[in-house]
Amino acid sequence: MTTTIGRIHANFRANYGAPRVLAELRLGLGIRVARKRVARLLRQYGLVSVSHPRKRRGWRLDTATHEDLVKRQLRADGPNRLWFCCNAQHRARDGWVYCAAVIDAYSRRIVGWSISDQIAAEIVVDALEMARWRRRPEPGTVVHADSGAQ
């Protein structure tokens, strides 16, 4: 039973906790097992699901910890002086697709991008690296990204 539970937990990228592992055992594999036993075995072997903090009512974004270099002036007087980062998530047939793009404010063209099936900081870094590799900007290029845009 523990190997089956461990395999289910690993197959779903450690996202499944006791309720979903139990459903997979019962509905997917047809194994009769008690809910508390599955929870105990998961706890015993240190298998925990990914949990996200819940949003509280009335929460507010923290103030920016850095200076706003753009000051909402969204135009540039030359190429590679101001870049914007844009992140988006899109529903696909088999899950979600996460995209990151870097846009040059002067030409309004995408100069770097990255796509992944997992949300991670690496897609933004990869998009910036692609833009840097393709455009080879001079020192002093400002990269602006709004927080909270989906």
pLDDT per residue as tens digits for the range 6-58:
888 888 878 888 888 899 899 888 899 999 999 999 888 888 887 767 766 76
68 lies in a domain?
A: no
Of residues 46, 11, 45, the one with CA closest to residue 25: 11
- Burial bucket for residue 62 (CB in 10 Å: 0-12, 13-18, 19+): exposed
52 lies in a domain?
A: no
N-to-C CA span, the chain = 41
Residue 35: domain span: 2-44
118 lies in a domain?
A: yes
Q: Return phi, psi of residue 61, to 5°.
A: -70, 145
Coil vs helix vs strand at 142: strand
Instruction: Please identify which residue in the block is written with the tokens 């910036």.
Output: 128
Domain count, the chain: 2
**Per-residue pLDDT at 100:** 93
114 lies in a domain?
A: yes
Higher pLDDT, 72 or 30: 30
d(C-alpha 144, C-alpha 83), whole Å? 6
d(C-alpha 18, C-alpha 20), whole Å? 6
17 lies in a domain?
A: yes
13 lies in a domain?
A: yes
36 lies in a domain?
A: yes
| Same domain (yes/no): 95, 141 | yes
Q: What percent of the chain has pLDDT over 70?
A: 86
Choose the weakest-confidence range: 11-15, 37-41, 113-117, 121-125: 11-15
| Same domain (yes/no): 33, 86 | no
Higher pLDDT, 56 or 115: 115
Report the predicted TM-score, pTM, of the whole model to 2 decimal places: 0.53
Coil vs helix vs strand at 20: helix
pLDDT band at 126 (very low <50, low <70, confident <90, very high): very high
Q: What number is the average pLDDT over the span 144-148?
A: 68
**Per-residue pLDDT at 140:** 85
**Per-residue pLDDT at 1:** 85
Six-digit token pair at 2?
Answer: 């523990």
105 lies in a domain?
A: yes
